Amino acid sequence: MRAVCLMYHDIIDSNAFEGSGFSDDFANRYTVERAEFQAHMAALSKQLPGGPSLVPDVLRAWPGTPSVMLTFDDGGLSAYTTVMDILEQYGWKAHFFVATDLIGKPQFMAREHIRTLRKRGHVIGSHSCSHPSMMSAQGHDRILREWTDSVKCLSDILGEEVTTASIPGGYYSQEVAEAASSAGIDAIFTSEPTGRSHMVGSARVFGRYVIRRGTTPERQARLIQGRYLIRTSEHVSWMMRKLAKIVGGKKYLKLRALAVQRLQR
């Protein structure tokens, strides 16, 4: 099964970094301004006359034609205040992955916001409970609790079973996926830039292409079109970061924060 999944985080008004979700220097690299996002959606509408797909339909249609899916991580307030309305201009639906310990916190969605998104037809999924900085480095029991407790929390809020999830921070491992499958999750979204998917237990694992601040509509279009050079560059960059994470461990997180601070000067 092939699918192009685009990963967004928060969508903000110009330079309003503290209005939604995480607002540290690193997170701000993944925060897209409203005008940028509107340009992305306008360009996407030309590529996808029928709009993006939702994972329940993709799974039911397997092994159907390649699909494009939109995802938003963290559960920041902009999912409700900004993204929902822009998507509805096109009649589109997307996936919103929520870190449940942050529900109701400043800059994050409250329970009623999550319910409204679901009533509007969007998919709500888990993004763990606590959004650990290194999910794959946690012990098995901790990983399983992150999935089971977050799924239960969201299921209680929505009054229905929650079966999708995305992995925080890009820290994927076989154990993380197996624990998610054990928690009843049947679709897992990673940060690996690939259009291919595979099975772990009873769950299908999808890669995603991250959309960063400053990503142009043209670059997004080339990703969707499957242009070899841009997809290869995304994968090479991701592999280098993955190696740095494995070798550096917690030191990688500190060095990454320092590097981002220098870029901001």
Distance CA 128, CA 72 (A): 14
| 138 within 8 A of 132, measured Cβ to Cβ | yes
Length of the chain: 265
What are 186-206's pLDDT values in tens digits? 999 999 999 889 999 999 999
* Residue 89 near residue 72 (C-beta atoms within 8 A): no
Mean pLDDT of 38-48: 94
Question: What percentage of the chain exceeds 70 in pLDDT?
Answer: 82
Q: pLDDT band for position 258 (50/70/90)?
A: very low
**Cβ contact 78:173 at 8 Å:** no
- Choice between 150 and 67, residue whose per-residue pLDDT is larger: 150
**Mean pLDDT within 93-115:** 97
CA distance 95 to 208: 12
What sign results for the dihedral spanned by CA atoms 236, 241, 245, 248? positive
43, pLDDT greater than 80: yes
| pLDDT for position 171 | 87
Q: Is the pLDDT of residue 209 over 60?
A: yes
Helices (H), 91-209: 111-119, 140-158, 174-182
pLDDT of residue 265: 38
pLDDT of 29: 86
Please compute the mean of the pLDDT values over residues 107-135 and round it to a whole number.
96
What are the structural domains, with CATH classification, of the chain?
3-264 (3.20.20.370)
Copy the structure tokens of residue 107: 């800059």
Is 234 a residue whose pLDDT tops 50?
Answer: yes
d(Cα 143, Cα 167) in Å, to the nearest integer?
11
Mean pLDDT lowest among 1-10, 32-41, 181-190:
1-10
User: Residue 57: pLDDT above 50?
Assistant: yes
Residue 179 has pLDDT above 90, yes or no: yes
Give the range among 31-35, 102-106, 213-217, 218-222 with minimum mean pLDDT.
218-222
Sorted by sequence, the CB contacts under 8 Å of residue 80 that are 6+ apart come out as 109, 113, 116, 117
> What is the three-class DSSP state of 199?
strand
